[in-house]
Amino acid sequence: MIPESVLGGIPQLQPLPPLAEALLSSLHGGDQTPTVEIIRLLHLDEAVASRIVAVLNSPLYAGRYPMDTAEEAAVRFGVAPILDVLLTDHFRGFRLDAPLYGLKGEEAWLHGSIASLAVIEVIRENPRKEIPRIASVAALIHDMGKILMVKYFDARSEELDILCQRQEITFADAERRKFGCNHAEVGGAIAVHWGFPESVAEAIANHHEAPLPEPTAMMDAVALANLVAKTIGIGLGREGMNFQIDSGCYTRLGLDFNAFCRVCARTALSLDALKKAYAQPA
């Protein structure tokens, strides 16, 4: 159970930008295309609009036909990719320095961003599984709970390492035994507070559970995306590979070993493009 002190810190986090809230409202309404309000907000913020155009024109997303405006990008790609871009910039601003997890600012956001791209590669690998496109956003923010874990718990990573070794448990289980909760559960609570769909919050809260409780394509995709990011060496931190994943994720997503390797390879090839796309502040 998440301690009350931590739950009380969630409303104190920096709120989401108005455009992100509008995008989430659109998703709740089942609308994958930009609303009039979303287009209005895009027109109000030239820096954000320029970032959206730049990223969606980059090799990460673009096809052979480049776009000139954020409105055109929003219409072509829909709500979820715009939210990916917007939240990547927003969360980079947190500059998470988390010695408890052995992570520094850039490592934290790169891990989430690579996990987000991994979801896209899983969708490309097996589009028949109908993974919700919003799963990429869930993967992007799946470790946001670490922000509050670092703020409210005074412990050294060595203590968790010792607990893992002595009790032969995963890093996430060591967090739960030491603090009463782990970063995944706290991240799920943050997602609820920020107004993300319940499916997103559940996927974040359960991404370290094995087996997954009542697994969905969203849960499977986020758990697997975390594994992909770690497998290619992004965001290993103190946890490293000391975590479990529901083995059913692979089969439920229709991936065999070779397909998983292809997803890892294509995701790794996106790393340079990701860094270049966000090289400059928005």
3-state secondary structure the chain: CCCHHHHHHHHHCCCCCHHHHHHHHHHHCCCCCCCHHHHHHHHHCHHHHHHHHHHHHCCCCCCCCCCCCHHHHHHHHCHHHHHHHHHHHHHHCCCCCECCCCECHHHHHHHHHHHHHHHHHHHHHCHHHCCCCCHHHHHHCCCCHHHHHHHHCCCCHHHHHHHHHHHCCCHHHHHHHHHCCCHHHHHHHHHHHHCCCHHHHHHHHCCCCCCCCCCCHHHHHHHHHHHHHHHCCCCCCCCCCCCCCCCHHHHHCCCCHHHHHHHHHHHHHCHHHHHHHCCCCC
Topology of the domain comprising 4-277: Hypothetical protein af1432 (1.10.3210)
Cβ–Cβ under 8 Å, residues 74 and 53: no
Which band of pLDDT confidence, cut at 50, 70 and 90, is reported for residue 154? confident
pLDDT, one tens digit per residue, over 192-231 is 999 999 999 999 999 999 999 999 999 999 999 999 999 9
The whole-number pLDDT of residue 195 equals 94
- Mean pLDDT across the chain: 92
pLDDT given at position 112: 95
Where are the chain's structural domains? Answer: 4-277
pLDDT tens string 155-166: 777 899 999 999
Calpha distance 271→117 (Å, rounded): 9
pLDDT tens digits for 129-140?
A: 889 999 999 999
